[in-house]
Amino acid sequence: MLPRFWRKIKYRYNLVGTYCENCGTYYYPPRNLCPKCRRKSRIKEVQLSGKGKVISYSVVHDAPENFKMMKPYVVALIQLDEGPVITSQLVCKPEEVKIGMRVKAVFRKYGEEGESGIIYYGTKFVPDEKIG
Amino acid sequence: MVGIVSYGTYIPKFRIKVEEIARIWGENAETIKNGLGILQKSVPDFDEDTATIAVEAGREAVRRARIDPKEIGAVYVGSESHPYAVKPTATIVGEALGVGNEYFAADLEFACKAGTAGIQICMGLVKAGMIKYGLAIGADTSQSRPGDALEYSAAAGGAAVVIGNDGVIAEIEGTYSFTSDTPDFWRREGQPYPSHGGRFTGIPAYFRHITSAAKGLMEELGLKPSDFSYAVFHQPNGKFPVRVAKMLGFSTEQIKQGLVVSHIGNTYSGSSLLGLCAVLDEAKPGDRILLVSFGSGAGSDAFSLIVTDEIDDFERTPKVWDKVMSGEFIDYGLYVKLRRKIKFG
Ligand SMILES: [Zn+2]
């Protein structure tokens, strides 16, 4: 678990995706090759904005051990403004979530391996409320 | 000219009212509110801790600075609630902010003044030409024993400042520290909650160190209270900063804008820095600001800042006070769960 998580830290802490300069498509998770352009792909790594909208969601009531304290929680399919769709926990009350609602990426704890183990951090989403 | 290039803040969205805590422990809420000058406090979500708060505040600071994160040469995170006893918070922040791998980093601990200690270290590194920008963060999710008086004030929040000498919005014209070995508040290794010396935390600790640091700095710079547009003092409650301001000769008008404790509680390492950021939200070019932190154990760091013309082009929304006044109230049951005060087996 530990080395596997460590190698992916860069992509969990930040929404680092790829962009094909040939056709203008964004990918998350990152890809080495653009499936549309194949050999003509011109791929570069980009930081995605972290803004998007909910296109589907479900409320998890039967949570795995590590997430028990957070249930019921929302897992949503989120379309980023750049195009890619990702699955993520959406931190809000189940009754708050709506299809089409604007959300933004935040840095949160994923879980921990007991009281003496490692703590995992990464990207989750919250409603993009305008403050002030 | 070394100074603050940018700042960012983060306050968790949950709030608990003094009434709700007093209800559980059978105490009189009005007496407590009047005694502490606190109405409510912030509470972190179950998946928030000092590292996540530091990252969110740091991201806002870096975004507003409009600099390449790789130009940041140092990251110091001050807290008394680092998630790990051994394993730095600063590396989590550095990675999440995309600082790269070539940077000086360490976690700092000095109760509630570890964040301002980070500013002083960054100032030194910038002045010596060793780094272009340094990031100093004060963040905490402070714990309190259920039923203890501290439970009404121990809150969560953080602030991050980018220090540099290019694009400075507030020049630091001087800093001065007053330090002594005073055991007013402590937490031993492995203990979940801190202990404190009750009334001993007042006169010999908070008031002595803050007044000494503030007077020392003003003497060194040849300044008097009326030279400052604003003053911010560490805010463990709503009463101490008001009383220390009076002792030093500052008016209520000078400290009002930075006094955020009434609605979010004591954010420990975030406390005086959140107050400073609330002042920077409103400050105009030429304003002089006094900042004095306090950390138990004990010490105070005093700073005199002069706001520059650059502040007019600086992104200042959402404002600290908007974050302070927003939020969602929770009851004591959910508070106990979120703060992991229930032990299983
Ligand atoms: Zn393509």
* CB contact (8 A) between residue B49 and residue A109: yes
Q: How many domains does chain A have?
A: 1
Residue % of chain A over a pLDDT of 90: 74
Query: Is residue B343 assigned to a domain?
Result: no
Q: What is the pLDDT of residue B199?
A: 65
Q: What is the pTM of this model?
A: 0.96
Query: Is residue B345 assigned to a domain?
Result: no
The CATH number of whichever domain residue B60 belongs to comes to 3.40.47.10
Q: How far is the CA of A21 from the centre of ligand 1 (A)?
A: 7
* CB contact (8 A) between residue B98 and residue A14: yes
A13 neighbourhood in chain B, CB within 8 Å? 95-96
Together in a domain, B162 and B176 = no
For residue B187, count CB atoms less than 10 angstroms from its CB and return exposed for 0-12, middle for 13-18, buried for 19 or more. Answer: middle
Distance from CA of A79 to the nearest CA of B (A): 22
By residue range, what is the domain housing residue B334?
A: 3-169+315-338
Q: Which of B46, B47, B68 to mutate to test the interface with A (most CBs of A within 10 A)?
A: B47
Regions in chain B scoring below 70 on pLDDT = 199-200, 345
Please provide residue B82's backbone torsions phi and psi, each rounded to the nearest 5 degrees.
-60, 140
Together in a domain, B83 and B157 = yes
Which chain A residue has its CA at the smallest distance from B93's CA? A13
CA dihedral of B253, B275, B328, B332, whole degrees rounded to 10 = -100
Together in a domain, B225 and B86 = no
User: What tens digit of pLDDT does each residue of B12-28 get?
Assistant: 999 999 999 999 999 99
The CATH number of whichever domain residue A28 belongs to comes to 2.40.50.840
Q: How many domains does chain B have?
A: 2
Angstrom CA distances, B339 to B92, B262, B333, B343, stand at 22, 21, 10, 11
User: What tens digit of pLDDT does each residue of B296-309 get?
Assistant: 999 999 999 999 99
Question: SS3 of A8, please?
Answer: helix
Looking only at the bridges linking them, the beta strands covering B288-292 and B230-233 are parallel
Q: Which value does ipTM take for this structure?
A: 0.94
